[in-house]
Amino acid sequence: MLRWLLRGFVLPPAACQSDYDRLAYEILFEDLDRNGDGVVDILELRDGLYNWNSSFGSNSEKEIFQTADSNADQALDFEEFVQYLQDHEKKMKLAFKSLDKNNDGIIDASEVIDAVKSLGIHISPTQANDILRSMDSDGSMTIDWDEWRDYFFLHPAKNVKEIIRFWKHSTIVDIGESISIPDEFTEQEKKSGEWWKRLVAAGIASAIARTCTAPLDRLKVLMQVRRSRMSKMSLVDEFKQMIREGGPFSLWRGNGVNVIKIAPETALKVAAYEQYKKFLSFDESNLGVLQRFIAGSMAGATSQTCIYPMEVMKTRLILGKTGQYSGIIDCGRKLLKTEGIRTFFKGYVPNMIGIVPYAGLDLATFELLKNYWLEHYSVNSVNPGLMIVLGCSTLSHTCGQLASFPLNLVRTRMQAVIRKNETIPMLQLIKEIYTKEGKRGFYRGLTPNVIKLLPAVGIGCVAHELVKFLMGLT
């Protein structure tokens, strides 16, 4: 809509000029000023930006207002509007020249790939062409200055780095990172405090997803610690048994710890991730996918080490009988008194080892599936859409679970040992499981774990978008 307004209506009378003339600004201003009072408020600007180009997001009007409203009266008069557009056009000219490496006056796919690569994000030529297609108005598959200016005319991005972040977020050019480790916060997000809102939104979404799937998670743990002679019951019978033993609320036993540990685990993971990125590169903007994966895995290991006692308490609460523990604190106190401090780190080694195959396969599978879809089925967009991302996430998580599940089972079995000062060595336990239960013994409890993946991912995605909307995030 904005491009049509600029090219189809504004530019013909001003086509011989290098910059937009005052008439162009007046037409845009009048289009925004819906009530004709001579000023544009933030609601009018928001509606106008959405009508012109909805991909800019709901925070664009706030960023423009912070820059353009020089007298802080919460309204833009015509002179403030003109001054902002003239200053912004100069910045977009510098951004265009910085991407146009060969100075031929156009930006092609190779220059888009090189620009995105500067943030450690690798995209295919097809994805680069899709980015170009979103801005290309003449079908040349290259972007000249007029097309660049028209597309970013009222976008609040100030430089190439912010433009690349816009491409990354709006087109889902993804590097496979979990929402638990939000990356590439802008300076504006850091100053405004938006970064912590994103962490809170991710935490709330995770808590909702975990709570909704907690009965399946408890069933998985119960099946993991049982031996083969006790595993003949169907899933429905297992649920009935849990309800008979402790009532309907027993299905959520241990979920409190699972939710409480989200905050410290996420905070530690984010802080560690930032530090590991600095260790792995002198220039964070040039971190590659492999370096980010290593930093993410190390951050996960660090956060898991710090909150691991809560993992043990979660397992014990899940396995506990009705009335055995009155709560998290009571569970921790009893474990410390009867089994000693070492019990809080039972199963630590297989847990740490399992992080690498899970994270690695999850990342690789997600990238492979998403890029395959973009290469073969995407028509005019690099945005796969919610359903495709949901499907890719579910399949990638399933592959990661299959790769790490045996180690997860060994960890749970080690955590479940309740005798004081007794820790079964990991290799000995693996040998016992193989000898007594066979290869299938390492995948006991896999069925409820796989069943919960799709609703967990789906609920998490929907909850995350809803919470972001309620918190005013894009």
Domains, the chain, with CATH or none: 2-170 (1.10.238.10), 212-470 (1.50.40.10)
Could you give the C-alpha distances from 227 to 39, 118, 126, 233, 440, in angstroms and in order? Answer: 74, 53, 51, 12, 11
pTM: 0.61
CA separation for the pair 222, 316 (Å, rounded) = 10
Residue 405 · residue 446 · CB < 8 Å: yes
Q: How confident is the model at residue 162 (pLDDT cuts 50, 70, 90)?
A: low
pLDDT at 381 over 60: no
183 versus 111: which is more confidently predicted?
111
Mean pLDDT for the stretch of residues 431-436: 90
Q: What would the 3-class secondary structure string for the chain be?
A: CHHHHHHHHHCHHHCCCCCCCHHHHHHHHHHHCCCCCCCECHHHHHHHHHHHCHHHCCCHHHHHHHHHCCCCCCCECHHHHHHHHHHHHHHHHHHHHHHCCCCCCEECHHHHHHHHHCCCCCCCHHHHHHHHHHHCCCCCCCEEHHHHHHHHCCCCCCCHHHHHHHHHHHCCCCCCCCCCCCCCCCHHHHHHCHHHHHHHHHHHHHHHHHHHCHHHHHHHHHHHHCCHHHCCCCHHHHHHHHHHHHCHHHHHCCHHHHHHCHHHHHHHHHHHHHHHHHHHCCCHHHCCHHHHHHHHHHHHHHHHHHHHHHHHHHHHHHHCCCCCCCCHHHHHHHHHHHHCHHHHHCCHHHHHHHHHHHHHHHHHHHHHHHHHHHHHCCCCCCCCCHHHHHHHHHHHHHHHHHHHHHHHHHHHHHHHCCCCCCCCCHHHHHHHHHHHHCHHHHHCCHHHHHHHHHHHHHHHHHHHHHHHHHCCCC
- Write down the pLDDT at residue 69: 80
pLDDT at 17 over 60: no
First to last CA, the chain: 21
Most confident of 119-133, 278-292, 408-422: 408-422
Mean pLDDT for the stretch of residues 96-110: 85
For residue 301, give the amino acid letter: A
Most confident of 69-73, 237-241, 372-376: 237-241
- Write down the pLDDT at residue 218: 92
Residue 201 · residue 436 · CB < 8 Å: no
Q: How confident is the model at residue 229 (pLDDT cuts 50, 70, 90)?
A: very low
pLDDT at 378 over 80: no
- Write down the pLDDT at residue 321: 86
pLDDT at 333 over 90: yes
67 versus 430: which is more confidently predicted?
430
Residue 38 · residue 49 · CB < 8 Å: no
Specify the range with the lowest mean pLDDT, choosing from 16-20, 120-124, 388-392: 16-20
pLDDT at 174 over 50: no
Most confident of 288-292, 379-383, 394-398: 394-398
- Write down the pLDDT at residue 215: 92
Question: Could you tell me which of 296, 69, 62 has the C-alpha nearest to residue 194?
Answer: 62
pLDDT at 343 over 80: yes
For residue 404, give the amino acid letter: S
Q: How confident is the model at residue 138 (pLDDT cuts 50, 70, 90)?
A: confident
Residue 37 · residue 1 · CB < 8 Å: no
Question: Could you tell me which of 250, 115, 206, 253 has the C-alpha nearest to residue 460?
Answer: 206
- Write down the pLDDT at residue 176: 30
- Write down the pLDDT at residue 11: 43
- Write down the pLDDT at residue 172: 36
- Write down the pLDDT at residue 316: 93
Mean pLDDT for the stretch of residues 433-440: 89
Residue 259 · residue 210 · CB < 8 Å: yes
pLDDT at 248 over 50: yes
Mean pLDDT for the stretch of residues 439-454: 86
Question: Could you tell me which of 104, 99, 107 has the C-alpha nearest to residue 140?
Answer: 107
286 versus 429: which is more confidently predicted?
429
pLDDT at 314 over 90: yes
Mean pLDDT for the stretch of residues 235-256: 88
Question: Could you tell me which of 223, 200, 131, 219 has the C-alpha nearest to residue 169?
Answer: 131
pLDDT at 54 over 60: no
Could you give the C-alpha distances from 108 to 25, 128, 143, in angstroms and in order? Answer: 29, 9, 7
Specify the range with the lowest mean pLDDT, choosing from 73-77, 154-158, 399-403: 154-158
Specify the range with the lowest mean pLDDT, choosing from 157-166, 337-346, 396-405: 157-166
Mean pLDDT for the stretch of residues 316-322: 89
Indicate the average pLDDT of the chain.
76
Specify the range with the lowest mean pLDDT, choosing from 124-133, 240-249, 281-290: 281-290
Specify the range with the lowest mean pLDDT, choosing from 39-48, 151-160, 232-241: 151-160
- Write down the pLDDT at residue 33: 80
- Write down the pLDDT at residue 384: 60
Mean pLDDT for the stretch of residues 19-36: 74
- Write down the pLDDT at residue 332: 92
Residue 158 · residue 91 · CB < 8 Å: yes
Most confident of 142-146, 147-151, 313-317: 313-317
